[in-house]
A and B are shown apart, each in its own frame.
Chain A
Amino acid sequence: DIQMTQFPSSLSASVGDRVTITCRASQNIRSNLNWYQQKPGEAPKLLIYGASALQSGVPSRFSGSESGTDFSLTISSLQPEDFATYYCQQSYSTPPYTFGQGTKLEIK
């Protein structure tokens, strides 16, 4: 199975900061990488699919990029509502479609 290594596991930042979260796949997954945001007590919400395609309704301050088997989620200017936990997920070929361990983004 494909393993996803996500880092950092936690991150402290301030409103207005630019932050980047990274996921590394254990093998080539082409661009089959999704990013989700989860707030406490809520279901995850899809932010980005296909490594860089923004889901409808998601603010443009969120962006995704890739370099080989490394994938990044960048928030260009943090807003108060962005403090949450973020997960990457690979969806290459057939399941299992594994998640990264998550990154908890906290207010500094």
Chain B
Amino acid sequence: QEQLVESGGGLVKPGRSLRLSCAASGFIFSDYYMTWIRQAPGKGLEWISYISSSGSAIYYADSVKGRFTISRDNAKNSLYLQMNSLRADDTAVYFCARGERSFYYDSSGADYFYYMDVWGKGTTVTVSS
């Protein structure tokens, strides 16, 4: 059974750091890109970071660029998010999700659809003094 389990959340003071982990099981972790998405209390989903299957391509949302670092250890089937200089508006549930892609071809040419098909249940980060 394909599964993702996040951990590492908690209460932290503004300006401090926290490291989230996401443990994958039931699939070949190294075959998939991975993402982090967060959801502030009562708010919508916010995509925050992407890492390719090998770790060679990484992207961030502007809201976390320069403060958060995504990484992965394919030997340990694990994804990480190092969060530094935390702010109150980083308070959210953080989800990791598996990225899948499907090839398609239309009148504009060939490309891939990218989508997130397996999600963890999330871990809560609260930034407060």
Contact = CB atoms under 8 A, between A and B. Distances in A.
Interface of A: 1, 30-32, 34, 36, 38, 42-46, 49-50, 53, 55, 87, 89, 91, 94-102
Contact of A46 (B45, B104, B108, B115): B115
8 contacts: A34-B116, A43-B119, A43-B120, A44-B119, A49-B100, A94-B59, A97-B47, A97-B114
Contact of B115 (A43, A49, A96): A49
Interface residues of B, number: 27
Q: Secondary structure of the A side of the interface? A: loop
Contacts of A30: 106, 108, 111
B59 A95 contact: yes
A99 B62 CA distance: 14
B50 A97 contact: yes
Interface in B35-70: 35, 37, 44-47, 50, 59-62
A49 B103 CA distance: 12
B101 to A, nearest CB: 9
Contact of A96 (B47, B95, B119): B47
Residue in B35, B45, B59, B111 with the greatest tally of chain A CB atoms within 10 Å: B45
Interface in B11-54: 35, 37, 44-47, 50
